[in-house]
Amino acid sequence: CWVIRAAFPFRSKAQLSHAPTLPGRLLGSFLSLSPEYTFVLEDEGGPCGYAAGALHAEGFLQQRDSSWLPAIRHKYPPDLGTGGSEAVLFFHSEPLAVPQPVLRRFPSLVQLGTAPRVLDVGASRSLALCLLSALRANGSRGVFCQVSDTDRQQLSFYSKLGFVALPVAWGSSPGSQLLGRLL
């Protein structure tokens, strides 16, 4: 049995970002800056998937880079612990700017993920459609995301949802691409 819930007021940020199956480092900015578009998939074992979005990606990314990231970097310096963990170092890498043509055509940002124990593609699809419907209902005409070229499962999943690779010159980290979908 699967349940899809809005991230707030269902759980606190701390509870969700520390859930072992949900990557808090990826959800933190969405939980802080765009909680109204953050949904969680649960099963009997607890949180096992998420769909997070930002209606106005350009403003969200500016706010993330100017206030949220500096606060997180201050809280978790790169030398935290012995050499810094992968999660801490993630916060200290510079995010790349999304090209303006992408932001004009696909003004909303989405990020989807499920734990390996989620074998039911229907549950993941329902979670994604919940987010896409919420964004469309509030005026979005298109969404984009970044996916690693090596994550065949994610690429296939996004493709089945109607996302296509965007043919834009983007100084992304090697091995990743931008995908987009009109709503």
**What confidence score (pLDDT) does residue 170 get?**
57
Per-position pLDDT tens, the chain of length 183: 667 667 654 444 444 444 444 455 568 889 899 999 999 888 888 888 899 999 999 999 999 999 988 888 888 777 765 555 566 556 666 667 889 999 999 999 999 988 888 888 888 999 999 999 999 999 999 999 998 888 898 999 999 999 999 987 655 556 788 999 999
Q: Is the dihedral of CA 14, 66, 183, 156 positive or negative?
A: negative
Indicate the pTM of the whole model.
0.82
Boundaries of every domain in the chain? 3-182
Q: What angle do CA 161, 11, 69 make, to 5 degrees?
A: 75
How large is the angle between the packed helices 152-160 and 121-137, nearest 10 degrees?
A: 60
The sheet carrying 108-114 orders its strands as 3-6, 38-43, 46-54, 108-114, 142-148, 176-182, 164-165
- CATH superfamily of the domain spanning 3-182: Gcn5-related N-acetyltransferase (GNAT) (3.40.630.30)
Instruction: Round to whole Å and give the CA distance between 67 and 123.
Output: 34
